[in-house]
């Protein structure tokens, strides 16, 4: 049990490019912290610096209050689950789990006790004598976890531990990891690029981009109050819609029309020229589902839906629109940064499952501008954060 | 693998460690140097050092039969070697043997590799058989083929219908070279075919099936899909075999001892040094032989644009 | 239909491969059973003519020949020692190359590459001269040293190719689990690398066993002369007419160790030959 403090951590490679740049994060004792970001954002590098597999170019790494920059991995007493599990193929499951204990010269009796306890927790009892090659992906994953929990390490580190599993198993193991962490109450740092894992597992989530920490907050705060365009676009699936917007007085003009904006938001953004409005898909709705009387008609617009995807509990509708070249370029850049592709400028709206909106037809949609965020397009900063 | 992070290990495979290194990478450096020091020293002891010595000795008129008469003569040995027809004749013969044997080995080796790739039954038996020529001592192979071609005890004359039973293969240059190359090709084709087989295994079946669906004939699949994707394997195999063939010595020594103009450049060098004790001119020939191997390697690398680092270092 | 054609084609191909590989071997075995008189008088034909068979006489004579027995002893001692030393050294170097970042890695690899391409004969002169000066001429060490040097590149490549196959994370996992670098090497890498080491050893042994140039140049007597050299000097009573069948018997004896290794370790040898060359 220990805290992990990262103070102004920098990692530079031979070419001088900072893979991790001035990152400071304090992980509280027993906290579950997620490092998330697109590929190449430095999240794994940061994790490997915590565990000592990567040298720290600058800054201080404190584990349990002790500076560990110069300690070898074995002297840091952390345990780690690797993406490919890194099980030892020549050892049985039992010996794999016992490995760290054997290195620590623990007595035979104690090893046996601890291995059996871990195997019970992870439901590996019947596989103890098998070799990793004969196990399924999920079982290997559990063995890797067993090797991590068998030792009383100061913290757990996970490097994309579920990325090699299929979707169903990934869901199960996610819950399993959450349960285990709660039960053991051990400080955990978990790297992932999967935002479902990020949102569901973490007490707090650190979003990184190109080596720089973007936002460190609870999952809810990240979702509801993203500090900039990148975080707003990265967190959430389908992602937040970004639309060119201008605010005059207390009204915001979008490609689909002009809508009233709450006063506090308008105050901060009025007269700032072209902005980027961010609206999540669920902040739209088919007017016919809500019922005529309850709708503020000033916040509705006609949209031409070209594709509709019915998912059972909800449905997505796609509304293409024309945007200026500069806006398109910015949207493309944004999509590229978060590892996705934007093929065309379109609005993604999430409609109630009961909506009868049709493809290739016009539908009246409601837009909840109370939930809208407005971003400065050049800096990407959220001008309406906290509102 | 769908690793998302640019892992430091794969980040820049040969990144030059910068000056302000951490303790860990410095100690890694030190450990590595300790580990490679002895092997490297040994390799250099037996190659670089003698080579430098050969370079030095080549500047002398020096014979072991009269070691005290050693006199410095500058580049005269090189002039002698390069103006003597023998050197060029032997180089030509060596190049001829290299080109012919490697071409045959490539074609036959590829055919073998294709067959082995297709075979599902008895893989073990075939692989075991194909390793036997590879493992057999070259000298033994030389004997076997020499006796096979012999007009007194061999079977080749009686098996080949268009050859007179009394035909003496070792009486003239052309037929002697045929016998020598037969032994060389027999022994080394398996090696070639194994390398090509490994290359073949890396061409994905999906790609070949896609080509089938796209309407490519067997020949088109071979030329447009399989061969281009095996380029690296083919080039490595050719390079290594060619350099090996250029050094041909054992077979010639055993089968003809250089008679009837079948002497290779290696054999010439050997004869000068070991049989005639002419260390001066022999050293000059050694240097020339080494240089010509470098030239051959450079030509092949240039010709086929083989990226050695790519192929070998991976 | 094409299926049948393909299967027939493959069958023919397999037959050709087997003939190619085994016919010359069968021939030398067959020759070794021809009697010496028959060979002197000329006995064309693949199999011994009736009445011209020698049974195991040639083998008996070969195995009573001191020169040949000493050559076998020399070959075994020199090849085995060179193999063990070369592979031990190569294991360390290959580990460094596959796993560690260090200055001069390119240099080591380039050196190994150049040596693998080195025209062995061009070293014979200077080595001959040097070995005579330092007293290594015509000794076991005189052969072992060049064998080690020339098999190191092969062994280093094969091994580093094998080492690279071991997932890099494995060793890091061990370090996180509390292992020192040495423990990580001994407990994780060595067991995983053992098959590769063994393969490299077989290939190295083949090289040493096969060597001819050093064998004839750096030895002069039965004290150190290895089998290939001894075979080439094997001359019967009549120097103009080699005792072909006797030589054949000796050749078969010299080939037996190779065949045994191939029979038992076919899979490993193929893996080793291709590991270093194709994928790298």
pLDDT digits (tens, 9 = 90+) for A255-274: 888 999 998 988 888 888 88
pLDDT for res C240: 57
SS3 C25: helix
pLDDT for res B175: 86
- Confirm whether A12 is domain-assigned: yes
Q: To the nearest whole percent, how much of chain A has pLDDT over 90?
A: 37
Which candidate in A13, A14, A17 is best for mutational testing of the B interface (most B CBs within 10 A)? Answer: A14
In this structure, the answer to whether residues A270 and A163 fall within a common structural domain is no
Note the helical H segments in chain C. 2-32, 36-41, 57-63, 66-99, 105-117, 121-134, 140-165, 168-176, 181-183, 190-210, 213-217, 227-232, 244-274
Q: Are strands A58-63 and A66-67 parallel, antiparallel or unpaired?
A: antiparallel
From the CA of A115, how many Å to the nearest CA of chain C? 14
Domain count, chain C: 1
Residue C4 touches chain B, beta carbons under 8 Å: no
In this structure, the answer to whether residues A186 and A72 fall within a common structural domain is yes
Which of the two residues, B72 and A245, has the higher pLDDT score? A245
ipTM above 0.90, yes or no: no
In this structure, the answer to whether residues A206 and A304 fall within a common structural domain is no
Q: Hey, which residues does A277 pair with through a beta bridge? A: A243, A374
- Confirm whether C41 is domain-assigned: no
* Average pLDDT of span C186-209: 84
B·C CB contacts under 8 A: 335
pLDDT class of B16 with cuts at 50, 70, 90: very low
CB contact under 8 A, A103 and C192: no
What count of other Cβ atoms lies within 10 Å of the Cβ of residue B124?
Answer: 11
**CATH number (domain holding residue C175):** 1.10.3720.10
In this structure, the answer to whether residues A117 and A213 fall within a common structural domain is yes
Domain finish residue from A193, A211, A227:
A227
Q: In terms of Cα–Cα distance, which of C96, C68, C8, C94 is closest to C248?
A: C68
- Confirm whether C98 is domain-assigned: yes
pLDDT for res C238: 54
pLDDT for res C82: 92
Domain count, chain A: 2
* Average pLDDT of span B264-285: 85
Chain C, 142 to 181: residues with Cβ < 8 Å from chain B are: 145-146, 148-150, 152-153, 156-157, 161, 164, 168, 181
**Burial of residue A322 (number of CB atoms within 10 Å: 0-12, 13-18, 19+):** exposed
In this structure, the answer to whether residues A285 and A359 fall within a common structural domain is yes
Which member of A73, A84, A88 has the closest CB to residue C176? A73
CB contact under 8 A, C43 and B51: no
**CATH number (domain holding residue A59):** 3.40.50.300
CB contact under 8 A, B6 and A43: no
A·C CB contacts under 8 A: 58
Which candidate in C114, C119, C128 is best for mutational testing of the B interface (most B CBs within 10 A)? Answer: C119
- Confirm whether C201 is domain-assigned: yes
- Confirm whether A334 is domain-assigned: yes
In this structure, the answer to whether residues A119 and A237 fall within a common structural domain is no
Q: Does A105 have pLDDT greater than 70?
A: yes
pLDDT for res C235: 64
- Confirm whether A222 is domain-assigned: yes
* Average pLDDT of span A101-110: 88
Tell me the per-residue pLDDT of A38-63, one tens digit each, with 9 for 90 and over. Answer: 888 899 999 999 998 888 989 999 99
- Confirm whether C97 is domain-assigned: yes
- Confirm whether C268 is domain-assigned: no
The mean pLDDT of chain A is 88
Residue of B nearest to C213 (CA): B250
In this structure, the answer to whether residues A175 and A78 fall within a common structural domain is yes
pLDDT class of B10 with cuts at 50, 70, 90: very low
The CA-atom distances, in angstroms, between A293 and each of A40, A296, A300, B176, B177 are: 50, 8, 13, 105, 102
- Confirm whether C38 is domain-assigned: no
In this structure, the answer to whether residues A329 and A283 fall within a common structural domain is yes
From the CA of C235, how many Å to the nearest CA of chain B? 12
CB contact under 8 A, B12 and A163: no
In this structure, the answer to whether residues A157 and A303 fall within a common structural domain is no
From the CA of B175, how many Å to the nearest CA of chain C? 18
Residues of B with Cβ-Cβ distance to A13 under 8 angstroms: 8, 11-12, 15
Q: Does C164 have pLDDT greater than 50?
A: yes
Residues of A with Cβ-Cβ distance to C179 under 8 angstroms: 74, 103
- Confirm whether A382 is domain-assigned: no
Tell me the per-residue pLDDT of A293-302, one tens digit each, with 9 for 90 and over. Answer: 777 888 999 9
CB contact under 8 A, B119 and C152: no
Tell me the per-residue pLDDT of C214-230, one tens digit each, with 9 for 90 and over. Answer: 888 888 888 888 888 88
In this structure, the answer to whether residues A110 and A244 fall within a common structural domain is no
What count of other Cβ atoms lies within 10 Å of the Cβ of residue A289?
Answer: 14
Residue A115 touches chain C, beta carbons under 8 Å: no
**Residue A199 has which token pair?**
């949102």
pLDDT class of A93 with cuts at 50, 70, 90: very high
Q: To the nearest whole percent, how much of chain C has pLDDT over 70?
A: 91
Q: To the nearest whole percent, how much of chain A has pLDDT over 70?
A: 99
From the CA of B35, how many Å to the nearest CA of chain A? 21
Domain encompassing residue A63: 4-227
pLDDT for res B11: 39
Residue A99 touches chain C, beta carbons under 8 Å: yes
By residue count, chain A amounts to 387
CB contact under 8 A, A53 and C192: no
Q: Does C150 have pLDDT greater than 70?
A: yes
The CA-atom distances, in angstroms, between C230 and each of B189, C30, C81, C217, C245 are: 26, 21, 19, 12, 16
In this structure, the answer to whether residues A223 and A313 fall within a common structural domain is no
Tell me the per-residue pLDDT of A154-165, one tens digit each, with 9 for 90 and over. Answer: 999 999 988 888
pLDDT for res B275: 80
A·B CB contacts under 8 A: 46
- Confirm whether A387 is domain-assigned: no
**Residue B1 has which token pair?**
């693998």
- Confirm whether C55 is domain-assigned: no
Domain encompassing residue C203: 65-233
Neighbours, chain C (3 or more CB pairs < 8 A): A, B
Domain finish residue from A227, A248, A274:
A227
pLDDT for res B307: 52
Categorise residue B278: left if φ over 0, alpha if ψ from -120 to 50, beta otherwise: beta
Q: Does B53 have pLDDT greater than 50?
A: yes
Domain finish residue from A211, A227, A243:
A227
Tell me the per-residue pLDDT of C38-94, one tens digit each, with 9 for 90 and over. Answer: 777 777 677 776 666 777 788 888 888 888 888 888 989 999 999 999 999 998 888
pLDDT for res B12: 36
Domains of chain B: 92-265 (1.10.3720.10)
pLDDT for res B5: 38
pLDDT for res B15: 38
pLDDT for res A217: 94
pLDDT for res A348: 92
pLDDT for res A321: 86
- Confirm whether A74 is domain-assigned: yes
- Confirm whether C257 is domain-assigned: no
Residues 6+ apart with CB under 8 A from C77: C140
CB contact under 8 A, B8 and A163: no
């Amino acid at each position: 049990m220990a805290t992990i403090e990262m103070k102004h951590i920098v990692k530079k490679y031979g070419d001088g490019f900072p893979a991790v740049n001035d990152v400071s994060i304090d992980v509280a004792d027993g906290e579950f912290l997620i490092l998330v970001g697109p590929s190449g954002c430095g999240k794994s590098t940061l994790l490997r610096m915590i565990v000592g597999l990567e040298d720290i170019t600058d800054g201080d790494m404190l584990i349990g209050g002790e500076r560990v920059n110069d300690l070898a991995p074995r002297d840091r007493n952390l345990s780690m689950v690797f993406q490919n599990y890194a099980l030892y193929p020549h050892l049985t499951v039992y010996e794999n789990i016992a490995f760290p204990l054997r290195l620590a010269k623990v007595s035979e009796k104690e090893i046996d006790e601890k291995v059996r306890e871990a195997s019970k927790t992870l439901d590996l009892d019947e596989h103890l004598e098998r070799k990793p090659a004969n196990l399924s992906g999920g079982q290997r994953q559990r063995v890797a976890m067993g090797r991590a929990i068998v030792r009383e390490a100061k913290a757990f580190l996970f490097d994309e531990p579920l990325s090699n599993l299929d979707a169903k198993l990934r869901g199960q193991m996610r819950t399993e990891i959450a349960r285990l962490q709660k039960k053991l109450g051990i400080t955990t740092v978990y790297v992932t690029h999967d935002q479902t894992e990020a949102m569901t597992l973490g007490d707090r989530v650190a979003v990184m981009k190109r080596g720089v920490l973007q936002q460190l907050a609870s999952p809810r705060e990240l979702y509801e109050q993203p500090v900039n365009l990148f975080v707003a676009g990265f967190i959430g699936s389908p992602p937040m819609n970004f639309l060119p917007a201008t605010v005059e007085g207390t009204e915001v003009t979008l490609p689909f029309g002009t809508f009233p904006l709450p006063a506090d938001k308008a105050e901060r953004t009025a007269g700032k020229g072209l902005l980027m409005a961010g609206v999540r898909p669920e902040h739209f709705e088919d007017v016919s589902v809500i019922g005529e009387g309850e709708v503020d008609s000033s916040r509705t617009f006609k949209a031409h839906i070209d594709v509709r995807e019915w998912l059972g509990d909800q449905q997505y509708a796609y509304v293409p629109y024309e945007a200026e070249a500069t806006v398109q370029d910015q949207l493309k850049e944004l999509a590229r940064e978060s590892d996705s592709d934007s093929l065309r400028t379109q609005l993604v709206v999430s409609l109630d499952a009961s909506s009868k909106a049709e493809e290739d037809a016009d539908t009246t949609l409601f837009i909840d501008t109370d939930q809208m965020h407005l971003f400065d397009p050049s800096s990407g900063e959220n001008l309406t954060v906290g509102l | 693998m769908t690793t998302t992070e640019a892992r430091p290990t794969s980040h820049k495979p040969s990144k030059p460690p910068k000056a302000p290194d951490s303790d860990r990478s410095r100690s890694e450096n030190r450990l590595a140097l300790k580990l490679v020091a002895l092997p490297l020293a040994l390799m250099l002891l037996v190659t670089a050092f003698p080579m430098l010595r050969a370079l030095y000795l080549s500047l002398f008129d020096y014979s072991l039969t009269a070691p005290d008469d050693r006199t410095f003569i500058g580049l005269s040995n090189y002039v002698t070697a390069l103006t003597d027809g023998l050197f060029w004749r032997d180089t030509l013969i060596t190049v001829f043997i290299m080109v012919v044997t490697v071409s045959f080995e490539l074609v036959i080796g590829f055919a073998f590799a294709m067959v082995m790739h297709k075979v599902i039954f008895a893989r073990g038996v075939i692989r075991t058989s194909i390793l036997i020529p590879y493992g057999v001592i070259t000298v033994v192979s030389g004997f076997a083929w020499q006796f096979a071609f012999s007009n007194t005890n061999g079977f080749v004359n009686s098996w080949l219908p268009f050859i007179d039973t009394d035909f003496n293969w070792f009486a003239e240059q052309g037929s002697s070279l045929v016998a020598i190359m037969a032994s060389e090709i027999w022994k080394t084709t398996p090696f070639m075919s194994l390398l090509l087989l490994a290359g073949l295994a890396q061409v994905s079946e999906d790609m070949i099936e896609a080509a089938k669906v796209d309407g490519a004939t067997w020949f088109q699949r071979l030329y447009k899909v399989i061969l281009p994707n095996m380029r690296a394997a083919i080039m490595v195999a050719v390079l290594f075999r060619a350099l090996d063939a250029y050094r041909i010595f054992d077979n010639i020594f055993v089968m003809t001892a250089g008679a009837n103009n079948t002497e290779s450049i290696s054999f010439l060098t050997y004869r000068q040094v070991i049989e005639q004790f002419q260390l001066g001119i022999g050293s000059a020939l050694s240097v020339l032989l080494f240089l010509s191997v470098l030239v051959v390697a450079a030509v092949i690398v240039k010709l086929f644009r083989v990226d050695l680092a790519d192929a070998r270092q991976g | 239909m094409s299926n049948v054609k393909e299967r027939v084609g493959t069958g023919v191909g397999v037959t050709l491969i087997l003939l190619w590989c085994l016919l010359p071997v069968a021939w030398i075995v067959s020759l070794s059973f021809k009697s010496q008189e028959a060979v002197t008088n000329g006995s064309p034909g693949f199999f011994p003519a009736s009445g011209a068979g020698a049974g195991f006489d040639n083998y008996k004579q070969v195995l009573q020949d001191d020169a040949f027995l000493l050559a076998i002893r020399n070959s075994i001692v020199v090849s085995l020692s060179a193999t063990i030393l070369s592979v031990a050294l190569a294991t360390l170097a290959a580990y460094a190359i596959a796993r560690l970042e260090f200055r001069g890695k390119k240099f080591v690899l380039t050196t190994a590459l150049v040596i693998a391409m080195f025209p062995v004969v061009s070293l014979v002169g200077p080595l001959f001269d040097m070995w005579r000066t330092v007293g290594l001429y015509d000794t076991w060490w005189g052969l072992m040293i060049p064998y080690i040097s020339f098999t190191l590149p092969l062994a280093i490549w094969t091994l580093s190719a094998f080492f690279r196959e071991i997932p890099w994370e494995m060793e890091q996992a061990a370090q996180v689990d509390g292992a020192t670098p040495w423990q990580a090497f001994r407990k994780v890498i060595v067991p995983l690398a053992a098959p590769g080491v063994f393969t490299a050893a077989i290939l190295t042994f083949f090289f040493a066993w096969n060597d001819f140039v050093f064998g004839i140049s750096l030895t002069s007597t039965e004290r150190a002369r290895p089998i290939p050299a001894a075979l080439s000097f094997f001359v019967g009573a009549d120097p103009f007419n080699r005792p072909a069948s006797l030589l054949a018997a000796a050749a078969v004896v010299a080939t037996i160790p190779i065949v045994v290794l191939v029979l038992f370790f076919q899979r490993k040898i193929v893996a080793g030959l291709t590991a270093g060359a194709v994928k790298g």
